[in-house]
Amino acid sequence: MSETPKGVCRLSVVPVRNAPNESAEQVTQLLFGEHYEVVATDESKEWYRIRMVWDGYEGWVNHLQHHPIAQEHFEQINAADYKISLDVTASILFRKVLTPIVIGSVLPLSPNELFQMEEQLAFNGDSKSLSQRRDVEFVKQMANRYLGAPYLWGGKSPFGIDCSGFTQMVFKLSGYGLKRDSYQQAEQGLAVDNFSDIEAGDLAFFTKNGLKISHVGIILEKNQIIHASGRVRIDMLTEEGIAHKESGKITHQLHSIRRILKET
């Protein structure tokens, strides 16, 4: 049986869609350095269905934005502990082209690529080990780097991000793995049953009209939350839900709270 084709993102940001066409809904994004498996192709062979290694999420990418890698390189990426960029924006030279990258980009480079890149340009931006876990103050610092980022369904970058993409990226930067969607994240970590027990760094989940979980944010203090709604912003948190900072109106009803940072 042949091995499943593999790939790695070599562009700044690549849309991942729910169907194999350019007008299909964007469900997530690939950032530079994120690797994946190709699990299917469409009839035209112009679209690849991929499964991202970090969170297992699947979707379609255009073949022109696919960068194939060998099985050996794929296994190296899985086994190694690479750096993750902490700068809101930075740049890296790849194949003699200066490529802009955004916060959360990973540098999973084969020895050959790394050698070539270091000869041309050393990446000297702010970065840390992908697996290194950091504390709540670091989580708050990373969350604040996204302040003002516009809301974009399926987005994961400071130029457009959705609520669960925001929480996933902040925790990825801090060394913790979250799943992609808010309802999936609501099953991770430890439950915080009493509002009086919440701590900075906890995830708060919300509904509208008492229906299924549809929103998530990061608690900064007992009465503040940072979340992506229109843009990444800080609002007030009450036992009822999110109170819009300017109007005081409850915009999202509190469903549950989970603790990720003290997960054992």
CATH architecture of 136-259: Alpha-Beta Complex (3.90)
Kindly provide the b/e burial profile for residues 219-237, where b requires at least 16 CB atoms within 10 angstroms of the residue's own CB: bbeeeebbbbbeebbbbeb
The pLDDT, as a whole number, for residue 3 is: 77
Residues carrying an active site annotation: 163, 215, 227
Cβ atoms of 205 and 225 closer than 8 Å? no
CA-based nearest residue to 174, from 226, 145, 132, 125: 132
CA distances from 20 to 50, 76, 102 (A): 11, 29, 25
Paired with 29 in beta bridges are 15
Quick one: pLDDT at residue 222? 83
- What phi and psi values does residue 64 have, to the nearest 5 degrees? -70, -15
The pLDDT of residue 109 is 57
Facing residues of 8 across strands? 35
Query: Which DSSP symbol is given to 196?
Result: G
3-state secondary structure string across 48-109: EEEEECCCCCEEEEEHHHCCEECHHHHHHHHHCCCEEECCCEEEEEECCEEEEEECCCECCC
Q: Where are the domains of the chain?
A: 6-129, 136-259
Q: How confident is the model at residue 16, as a pLDDT?
A: 99
Tokens of 128: 């840390």
Same fold yes or no, 6-129 and 136-259: no
Strand extents, DSSP E, the chain: 6-8, 13-17, 26-31, 35-41, 47-52, 58-62, 68-69, 83-85, 89-94, 97-102, 127-129, 156-157, 160-161, 190-191, 203-207, 215-221, 224-229, 231-237, 241-243, 250-259
pLDDT for the residue numbered 211? 81
Q: What length is written for the chain? A: 264
pLDDT at 120: 45
Whether the CA torsion 88, 69, 121, 126 is positive or negative: it is: positive
* Closest alpha carbon to 31 in 47, 15, 44, 20: 15
Q: Are strands 68-69 and 26-31 parallel, antiparallel or unpaired?
A: unpaired
Q: What does the pLDDT read at residue 263? A: 53
Q: Which residue bears the tokens 């269905």?
A: 49
Fold of 6-129: SH3 type barrels. (2.30.30)
| pLDDT by residue, tens only, the chain of 264 residues | 357 899 999 999 999 999 999 999 999 999 999 999 999 999 999 999 999 999 999 999 999 999 999 998 899 888 888 889 999 999 887 767 788 999 999 986 555 555 444 434 456 678 899 999 999 999 999 999 999 999 999 999 999 999 999 999 999 999 999 999 999 999 999 999 999 999 999 999 999 877 899 999 999 988 999 999 999 999 999 999 999 998 989 999 999 999 999 754
